[in-house]
């Protein structure tokens, strides 16, 4: 992830709690492909004790806005297939499941692939 942070084709968002400590962060990057600009959500993390307070949704919205501003037409991501809370967040924000990748994460854990169209047809 260090290679992505600070690049012109990425955005990093950091959420703070009421004491100024890091509550969560998200990283999105985009690239030009034959069909247009495509964005990928590298990571979205919220401290466990602060989950359920809309921090993840706000970080996700900001990543979507950054990707749109860069001209991205779609945003895709991988999420641990066993992470029901994250999957619920993505679905609530309009992401649709596109498939599954076995052995994507360490210890053989599978990933679900989700995508969201950022532009209207």
Whether the Cβ atoms of residue 76 and residue 113 lie closer than 8 Å to each other = yes
- pLDDT at residue 121, rounded to an integer: 60
Report yes or no on 95 lying in a domain. Answer: yes
Closest among 7, 50, 46, 52 to 28, alpha carbons compared: 7
| pLDDT (average), residues 93-111 | 95
Q: How many domains does the chain have?
A: 1
5 occurs within a structural domain: no
Mean pLDDT in the chain? 91
Whichever domain contains 55, its CATH number is 3.40.630.30
Q: Which domain holds residue 26?
A: 10-117
Within-domain flag for 3: no
Q: Render pLDDT for 17-30 as a digit per residue (tens, 0 to 9).
A: 888 889 999 999 99
Residue 93 maps to a domain: yes
pTM for the structure as a whole: 0.88
- In a domain, residue 35? The reply is yes
* Mean pLDDT, rounded, for 36-41: 94
């Amino acid at each position: 992830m260090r290679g992505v942070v600070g690049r012109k084709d990425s955005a990093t968002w950091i959420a703070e709690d009421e004491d100024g400590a890091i509550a969560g962060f998200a990283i999105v990057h985009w690239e030009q492909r034959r069909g247009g600009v495509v964005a990928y959500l590298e990571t979205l993390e919220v401290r466990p004790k602060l989950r359920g307070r809309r921090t993840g949704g706000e970080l996700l919205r900001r990543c979507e806005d950054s990707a749109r501003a860069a001209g991205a037409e779609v945003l895709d991501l991988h999420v641990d297939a066993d992470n029901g809370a994250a999957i619920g967040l993505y679905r609530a924000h309009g992401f649709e499941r596109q498939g599954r990748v076995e052995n994507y994460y360490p210890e053989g854990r599978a990933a679900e692939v989700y995508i969201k169209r950022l532009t209207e047809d």
